[in-house]
Structure 1
Amino acid sequence: MTQPAIELSPDARKEIAEALNQSVAETAVTTMLAQNFHWNVTGMAFGELHRLFQEIYEDHFQAQDDLAERIRALNEHAEGKLAGMLARSKVEEHDGHQSDREMVDILMKAQETIAATLGGLGELAANHGDTLTEDLAIERGRTHEKFAWMLRAHLG
Structure 2
Amino acid sequence: MTQTATQLTPSAQEEITTALNQCLSETVVTTMLAQNFHWNVKGMAFGPLHALFQEIYEDHFAGQDDLAERVRALDMHAEGQLAKMLDRSKVAEADGLQTDREMIELLATAQETVSKTLAGLGELAAGHGDTLTEDLAIERGRTHDKFAWMLRSHLQ
TM range (shorter): over 0.9
Q: CA deviation at 1:51?
A: 0.1
How far apart, in 2, do the equivalents of 1:59 and 1:18 lie?
Answer: 22
Q: 1:98-151 CA distances to partner (integer Å, 9 max, x unpaired)?
A: 000000000000000000000000000000000000000000000000000000
* Superposition deviation, residue 91 in structure 1: 0.1
SS at match of 1:84: helix
Letter in 2 for 1:145: D
- CA distance in 2: counterparts of 1:149 and 1:44, whole angstroms: 21
The number of residue pairs the alignment matches comes to: 156
* Percent identity over paired residues: 74
Separation (CA, whole Å) in 2 of partners of 1:113 and 1:123: 16
Number of the residue aligned with 2:150: 150
Distance of 1:42 and 1:20 partners within structure 2: 34
Separation of aligned partners in 2, 1:3 and 1:101 = 45
Partner of 1:66: 66
Cα displacement (A) at 1:47: 0.1
Report the RMSD for the aligned CA atoms in angstroms.
Answer: 0.3
Q: After TM superposition, which residue ranges in structure 1, 4 or more long, deviate above 4 angstroms?
A: none
| TM-score for both structures, normalised by structure 1 | 1.00
Q: Which residue of 2 aligns with 1:121?
A: 121
Matched with 1:136 is: 136
Alignment of 1:25-40 (within 5 A): 25-40=25-40
The corresponding residue for 1:95 is 95
* TM-score calculated relative to the size of structure 2: 1.00
Secondary structure, aligned partner of 2:154: helix
Structure 1: distance between partners of 2:37 and 2:123:
32
Q: Which ranges in structure 2 are unaligned for 5 or more consecutive residues?
A: none
Matched, 1:79 2:75: no
